[in-house]
Amino acid sequence: MVTCPVVIKIDQSEAHGDVTVQQFNSSQRWGRALKSLGLFWLAAAAAILIPVAHFVLVPGFFIAGLVGFSKGMSTEEIVLGGTCACPKCNSQITISRSAAKWPLSEPCMKCRMNVSITRSPARN
């Protein structure tokens, strides 16, 4: 886990905060992807025993396993969470766990504005 500085923007207003990011190396990505594939295929095998529904469930779980494997292999990092101040109203914004697809977007609960959160190499 790594703590990364971020820049939070609304229009021209700007603030700074921190997020915790978990990065996955190649072997961790393989492990996550194979676990996802195995769980979905195990569900597909169990669904064989369900009369009539197995015609939909087995192919569905099989395809979901392939999609989960692909997603697991492509996920290099995830945002575990963080906090920052809203640039408009200065209230605390909690950054939720999500895929690390920069820029992130989080709503401010006080002023109801969506803030854009971008990764910053260093603070000024």
What pLDDT score does 10 carry? 80
**Measured between alpha carbons, how far is 19 from 116 in angstroms, rounded to an integer?**
13
Q: What is the pLDDT along the chain (124 residues), one digit of tens a residue?
A: 778 778 888 878 888 888 899 999 999 999 999 999 999 999 999 999 999 999 999 999 999 999 999 999 999 999 998 888 888 888 888 888 988 888 888 888 888 888 888 887 754 4
Question: Which amino acid, 40?
Answer: F
What pLDDT score does 122 carry? 57
Domain boundaries, the chain: 2-24+78-119, 26-74
